[in-house]
Chains A and B, each alone.
Chain A
Amino acid sequence: MCEAPKLLYLAIMARTKTNASLLVSQEIKQGRRLTYRVTACGAGAAVLAILQAWFAASMLAIILHHGTSSLPLAAVLFAIAALARAGLMRAEAHMAFNLGIAARRRLRNHSLNALLAIGPAGVRGTHSADLAGIVVDRVEAFDGLHARWIPAVSMAVIGPALGIIAGFIADPLAGVILAIAALLVPVGMAFAGIGAGIASQRQFTAMSRLQTRFIDRIRGISTIILAGRSNDEAASLAQAADELRVRTMRVIRVAFVSSTMLDLAAAGALIAIAIRFAAPLRNHLAATPLALFCLLLVPIIFAPLRGFAAVYQDRMTAQAAAERLADLPAAERLADLPTARAGREALRAPQADIRTVSASGLGIAFEQVCFRWSDGGPLVLDHLSFRVPAGEMLLLLGPSGVGKSSIIDLLLGFARPTSGRVTINGADIASIVPASLARMTSWIGQHPMIFAGSVADNIRFARPEAPDAEWQEAARLARVTDFAGSLPVGFDTMLGEGGYGLSGGQVQRIAIARAFLKDSPLLLLDEPTAHLDPATEREVLDSLRRLAVGRTVILATHSAIAHEFARESGVKKLDLGALKHERLRTAV
């Protein structure tokens, strides 16, 4: 038992790392398939650069020897090649940018769909700001990988190769010099990379902790201020930053050797080619353009390699962002979640079993239902059976944590029973198309969501295509109209992030208006008045009473007034707390 948290912790750490690396390598594989057009433009630009070098070399040779070839012709060709190269470079940048957009669009779509698929029960306990961070920021971090890193990898091979081939054609010996110089770069990089790898492995944990320290302390700054420790924390932040510098420099000292290899190879190539042509040039003036051409090839060969080194951080950024993104259940891994199993099996079930249920009058039943939130977790519902005939109301009682919300989530299809059946008009809920299940259910909880938009938008959320008369009627029935007049611009008042703040009772009435507009036969109410003051609670219950007419209703509550309200309606009760107590007594 004591070992469990340890093992869990290690397992989580191990899984996160693998998933992140897996995701990044998948992305690279996928990105490579799409990058050929960008690479083609890059290769075209490299060929033009080589041609430019040749024209420039010819022009210089003409100047040096007052040659017979036409200087203006070479100049015009040089200029044309320059313009074409500028065009190709723009096209390359444009297409690379689009690759980044396409990848982000795809990843964002995928992560949103995954979150919508696992639903509210699947993301229990995760703050929605964290989820939004995954969908917004972590997806953005993949831009560099697709738009810059993947194309740069291809160009780091193709660019130097083209330059070396040109060198060979001009002068085989110079070609060999250039090839050796270019090959020294990856060899040197590998050595330095291995060294840096070893160095950074030793430093990794300490460095990543120090790196996140600043953002972590800023996020928690009010906790620090209120504890009166801001000066101490500033001092230890400075100390941590200095330690990070020392450790980072230790890694960088080795890592920069690879850039130095690049400089060394470039300088070596320049000098070797200068020396290579020194002797022949004295005797053969015809070799002049060749010599100058080979000298001009050196920067052309090394530029893509420098470009590659410059975008390396783009890959690291994506790798860091991948950790949370990879943790989102992919389609395959959705199977691991008890809550998602329902959706999958519904999809997998034979066509004949998928059904919709007649929408007039719904009876629901729980048959020997057992339920737990997670595989190892405690049993929340234990062989629970009950039945609610069409048009009747059931009151769910019992203290918090006894399983009222679980019953509602089972009926909404967000969770599925560990064993037993939940049926609607006799049909197993797992066999009902999720969209159809959603159509026949209305739900009002403790804190209904108010979306960014106007009051009218928030009511119409239930049915955007509804004619004005219908949502206005719903607003009247839910008594939204009563308070809408006192808002700054009535139904057009903007709510949500940065908008006007409504009181708890007003929010509930908007939720009730939504339910009126949706007009579904099954109504699930999960503590809809839990945090309202008694007067408001009565008003909200009054609206709910009107909403409940002619529908099958389940009301989960521990509010005394709500009990009263239910008693007047003469309903059945299911006291889960007493049930649990009963079972315990029989067990003893």
Chain B
Amino acid sequence: MTSLLTILSLWRRRAFWLILAILIALAALAAALALQFQAARYVSAATLGSLLIVPASLQIIGASRVVLRYLERLVGHDATFRALADLRVWFFRRLARSSAGGLGFRRAGDVLARLVGDVEALDGLFLRIIIPAIGTVLLLPVLMIVVSRDSLPAAMLVLVLFLVVGLILPWRAARMSRAEAKAGAAAMGSLRVAALDTLTGLREVRLFGAEGRMLANIQARESALFNAQRSLASKSAWLQSAAFLAAQAAILVIILLGPASPLAAVAALFVSIAAFEFAGAMPAAGILAGQASASADRVLDAAQARPAVSDPTQPARLPASHALTFDHVSFRWRNAGPLVLDQLDLQIPQGSRIAVLGPSGAGKSTLAALLLKLASPESGQIRLGGVDIATLTAVDLRSRIAYLSQTTHIFADTVANNLRLTNESASDDALWTALEAAQLADFVRSLPVGLNSWLDEGAGNISGGQARRLALARTFLSPAPILILDEPGAGLDGATEAALLETLNHVPTNRTILLITHRLMGVEKLDRIWRLANGHLVSATG
């Protein structure tokens, strides 16, 4: 629950709007109670032959209730949107600073997507948890006053019932759903692994006639997920039933214990019906709060994770030269894990073109991670123009390197904005030059609005080859003198990959190129070719 409070503290800036929304919501609630109260009084007074209130007041209350409800929704949503925008921007900034930001480097897009789901799970925090909770707390004295005018014992009993509905059940619901959320997430993860396994290994599944087995496996995990969800649903159903029966019991209590003052009894009854209806949302709010607090924990964990490589306190100046040197560099991803790089030495002179080959998992991408300060070597030094990169800030270092990876993201934005990511102030001419170099200019020209064409999420509306070319054009556009291309042709068919690599030959010769790939297509013009195996580089042909 402390993480929920931390999230709430982010919203201090929006206090005005949030408090306004709470006040309007409370006014709307008060109007609802008054409406019930007056209608009941009016009818029961009429039955006793005396008219206490003119219908006009009833209409005024009714009208203000309707208007207040409208305002409540409007202001409540407006305040929520403001608060949620703050939360999202805060999360983005923190994630960019924390080590989790580097997750995308290692194909963890779905981990990030799940975190986004956690941020979205906090959307209901204000409207569906905080407002009902404040309303319920303030309802309590009102209810007590109205019912005790009728009968004190009734008031005591109703107090107990109201506390059950508004406090005890929601509290239990929150604890229960927090525990269940864990089981549910585990079951969901297990289903995802089974589905991913089957779909990644579709070829093997078909060839070994394993369709039935794999389907059965997925279905078993699906059933486990459904059981977890059923357990949550059944427990929440018990809580809801308990809340419902408590409200019904309150009605009986008021009627049976309060015959002394019939008029007050009828009014008390109608008010408590409205009060219990409002508080009836609390068990559901409790369930939501349990889930939201689990989400808040994960969001905070990700946002507050320490960066893998922290910047030096007294950063050195960027050197003028951009020759790169690996000097006896050793590295492992995990503490007890295998050594990925073992006393590795590599010279990449300014303006040279180097390829590093090796099977996947050999540690080729680790070279890029180290150069970009997404990780730091266990021992040894990496130097840029003779300066140890450990003494440079990450931002300074990255301004010298344009990096294209297999996971380089194409944003849901226009072609132009996707390109300008690496060079904000580039002119349209510069964009076209980069597109020409990546051999994508003809395609972009053929689009209805050219550079302003919109690209869908995940570049869904262009082909895989076009997406890679766009990423390549973006890398070309960067003013950085060093280009690191990590499997630029991954996921492309051979012909497309060869054509793509061929474009590298037209890059101006003053730029350094480090090509990381598991195979060469035979079209690349390179100065040196290295093969990475067992943490060492061996010279290959060339």
Contact = CB atoms under 8 A, between A and B. Distances in A.
A245 B359 contact: no
B116 A119 contact: no
Given A218-B115, A295-B39, A223 B196 contact: no
Contacts of B191: 136
Contacts of B66: 260, 263-264, 267
A75 B412 contact: no
Contact of A496 (B197, B277, B407): B197
A200 to B, nearest CB: 15
Contacts of A85: 244
Interface stretch (B102-110, B136-144, B383-391): B102-110
Contacts of A78: 248, 251-252
Given A132-B195, A136-B191, A216-B411, A292 B43 contact: yes
Interface string B67-89: 00110011001100110110011
A412 B39 CA distance: 78
A213 B412 contact: yes
A475 B171 CA distance: 56
B65 A221 contact: no
B69 A222 contact: no
A223 to B, nearest CB: 4
Interface in A251-305: 252-253, 256-257, 259-260, 263-264, 267-268, 270-271, 274-275, 277-278, 281-282, 285, 287-288, 291-292, 295, 299
Interface in B368-420: 372, 374, 395, 398-399, 401, 403, 407-412
B110 A278 contact: no
B372 to A, nearest CB: 6
Contacts of A156: none
B35 A230 contact: no
B9 interface: no
Given A115-B199, A533-B531, A215 B113 contact: yes
A217 interface: yes
A116 B200 contact: no
Contacts of B277: 299
Given A12-B461, A260-B66, A268-B62, A115 B102 contact: no
B207 A438 contact: yes
Contacts of A278: 42-43, 46, 51, 55
A441 B207 contact: yes
Interface stretch (B153-161, B324-332, B429-437, B442-450): B442-450
B241 A90 contact: yes
A56 B359 contact: no
Contacts of B522: 399
Interface residues of B, number: 146
Contacts of A464: 213
B192 A136 contact: yes
Nearest to B397: A228
Contact of B248 (A79, A221, A414): A79
A532 interface: yes
A451 B248 contact: no
Nearest to B115: A218
Given A217-B411, A221-B104, A245-B82, A402 B494 contact: yes
Residue among B70, B203, B244, B258 having the largest count of chain A Cβ atoms under 10 Å: B203
A588 B368 CA distance: 46
Contacts of A451: 197, 201, 204
A214 interface: yes
Contacts, number: 384
A227 B533 contact: no
Contacts of B409: 216, 219-220, 222-223
A357 interface: no
A271 to B, nearest CB: 5
B312 interface: no
A316 interface: no
Nearest to B28: A263
B478 A260 contact: no
A400 interface: yes
Contact of A503 (B63, B70, B359): B359
Contact of B47 (A64, A101, A533): A64
A461 B256 contact: no
Contacts of B95: 218, 221
A227 B518 contact: no
A214 B88 contact: yes
Main secondary structure of the interface of B (DSSP, over half): helix
Nearest to B104: A222
B222 A238 contact: no
Contacts of A223: 104, 407-409, 411, 421
A6 interface: yes
Nearest to B80: A245
A93 B245 CA distance: 16
Contact of B65 (A259, A263, A287): A263
Interface in A422-455: 435, 438-439, 441-443, 445, 447-449, 451-452
Contact of B497 (A86, A400, A497): A400
A130 interface: yes
Contacts of A219: 104, 109, 112-113, 116, 409
Contacts of A127: 491
A485 interface: no
A60 B251 CA distance: 11
Contact of A218 (B116, B193, B237): B116
Interface in A180-232: 209, 212-232
A461 B208 contact: yes
Interface stretch (B174-182, B262-270, B289-297, B348-356): B262-270
B74 A291 contact: no
A105 interface: yes
A401 B82 CA distance: 52
B73 A256 contact: yes
Nearest to B423: A227
Nearest to B206: A119
A315 to B, nearest CB: 18
A90 B237 contact: yes
Given A213-B412, A228-B399, A299-B277, A277 B43 contact: yes
Nearest to B273: A299
Nearest to B58: A271
B210 interface: yes
B70 A256 contact: yes
Given A218-B112, A232-B424, A260 B222 contact: no
B461 A9 contact: yes
A46 interface: no
B498 interface: yes
A530 B58 CA distance: 84
A441 B522 CA distance: 32
B101 interface: yes
B59 A271 contact: yes
B542 interface: no
Interface in B504-542: 518-519, 521-522, 531, 533
Nearest to B81: A245
Interface string A388-403: 0000000000011110
11 contacts: A2-B446, A3-B446, A60-B266, A63-B259, A79-B248, A131-B199, A132-B195, A226-B105, A244-B85, A270-B62, A461-B208
Interface of A: 1-6, 9, 12-13, 52, 56, 59-61, 63-65, 71, 75, 78-79, 82-83, 85-86, 89-90, 93-94, 97, 101, 104-105, 108-109, 112-113, 115-116, 119-120, 123, 125, 127-133, 135-136, 209, 212-234, 237-238, 241-242, 244-245, 248-249, 252-253, 256-257, 259-260, 263-264, 267-268, 270-271, 274-275, 277-278, 281-282, 285, 287-288, 291-292, 295, 299, 399-402, 412, 414, 435, 438-439, 441-443, 445, 447-449, 451-452, 461-464, 496-497, 501, 503-504, 514, 518, 530-533
Given A228-B399, A278-B43, 7 more contacts: A5-B443, A136-B191, A263-B69, A285-B47, A449-B201, A464-B213, A533-B531
Q: Which 8 A-B pairs have the closest CB atoms?
A: A400-B494, A220-B409, A401-B494, A401-B495, A449-B201, A222-B104, A241-B85, A230-B96
